Structure 1
Amino acid sequence: MTSAPDHIAVVVLAGGEGRRIGGGKPLRRLAGQTLLDRALAQARTVSDMVAVAVRDPAQAAGVDGARLIPDAPWEGPLGGLAAALVFARQAGRTAVLTLPCDMPLVPPDLAGRLTAALDGHGAALASSGGRLHPVCGLWRTDRLGALSAYAATGQRSLKGFAAGIGFVAVDWPAEPVDPFFNVNTAADLGRAEALLA
């Protein structure tokens, strides 16, 4: 993944329960590495300020050198985004790139293209094949207050929050392979293995 300016932190979202794959999704292995290790390797090509957002430290057990931050107490990825915004803001970064641990084919130009598109927007979000992927997004840290206000309404949608702060979608082709293919089941893991091979 191409580098982004040093005003960006990266947080890997690894707090999901992964029920469809039988739990423990971040530590499932793909091509000899855990999904989490693969995502961290991508994150470290973007920024020197990297963390993993988890509900439980066991979700990142055995992963070396990863700073763990707890999800905010909101269900779904909104809790991970809140943790990411706090982490990045405390580090003095003006934006945070969120990467899910279960998208092993994320394009190498993700950070660069989202950074180029962010100007004037609250967030820049990846899309492909007509679908928005808000877990792969670059978010301005000065929108943290807006996130707290949004969560206070009981809403938990990343898309809804992004719409509220004003976002721009950045599109990638979904053919021949969708770079935002995400691993939810054992069959998906097998497909990802075949694609990487």
Structure 2
Amino acid sequence: MTDVAVVILAGGEGRRIGGAKPLRQLGKRRLINWALDRAQCWSNVVAVAVRDFAQAPSVNAEIVQDDAVEGPFGGLAAGLKFVRTKGYPFLLTIPADMPFLPPDLLDRLRAAIEDFGCAIASSGGHAHPVCGLWRASTLEKVDDYVLSGGRSLKGFSALVGAIEVEWAAGQKDPFFNINSADDLAEAEKRIT
């Protein structure tokens, strides 16, 4: 896709897993590399959004710094600025801690977005706003949202108008995310 840039959200502290979550190994690769491999299937314009540049050393992508807003919303805001500088109308966000994202993520979100501000992945009845296709034009609403006290991706997606796209979760939810050592061990079982 020539009109979509991908930004990997990797700015969290990862306290539940002992820090440096994007650099944790799953199999023989770091979590950030799992995300990069998937992102590069969807676009040749890929960036990693981090709070601190030390969170993503030695990555084959541009690094952008999160806006001064706590949580993944800071990464989205930085990503929207990034996509605007590239002149692309769409931004796909994915997190660094979901190594099994479905290959059809971009295609299905793209098919659903229509006139909405964003299309958000969902599975098992749970929205995953970190996996979203966002119109670059939603950047215009970021400052007012932050000034109003908004900090969540869910709140921002509601503000800009969102549609959820459901995937079957089953036993192997493609949106399984790694937050703890137990989650990492579970993910290891899935790849062996």
Question: TM-score scaled by structure 2?
Answer: 0.98
**Aligned residue identity for 2:173:** D
Q: CA deviation at 1:155?
A: 1.3
Structure 1 residue aligned with 2:174? 179
Structure 1 stretches of 4+ moved >4 Å: none
In 1, Cα distance between the equivalents of 2:165 and 2:84? 24
In 2, Cα distance between the equivalents of 1:62 and 1:92? 26
Structure 1 residue aligned with 2:8? 12
Q: CA deviation at 1:62?
A: 2.6
User: Which ranges in structure 1 are unaligned for 5 or more consecutive residues?
Assistant: none
Matched, 1:155 2:132: no
Matched, 1:146 2:141: yes
Q: Deviations over 1:163-184 (max 9, x none)?
A: 1111100000110211101000
In 2, Cα distance between the equivalents of 1:148 and 1:116? 28
Matched, 1:25 2:21: yes
Structure 2 residue aligned with 1:48? 44
Percent identity between matched residues is 54
User: Which ranges in structure 2 are unaligned for 5 or more consecutive residues?
Assistant: none
Q: Secondary structure at the match of 1:45?
A: helix
Size of the aligned set, in residue pairs, is 192
Question: TM-score scaled by structure 1?
Answer: 0.96
Structure 2 residue aligned with 1:35? 31
**Aligned residue identity for 2:15:** R
Which residues of 2 match residues 93-112 of structure 1 at below 5 A?
93-112=88-107
In 2, Cα distance between the equivalents of 1:129 and 1:175? 8
In terms of mean alpha carbon deviation, does 15-24 or 147-156 score higher? Answer: 147-156
Structure 2 residue aligned with 1:114? 109
Structure 2 residue aligned with 1:170? 165
Q: Deviations over 1:125-163 (max 9, x none)?
A: 000000000000000000101122111111111111101
Structure 2 residue aligned with 1:68? 63
In 1, Cα distance between the equivalents of 2:43 and 2:165? 20
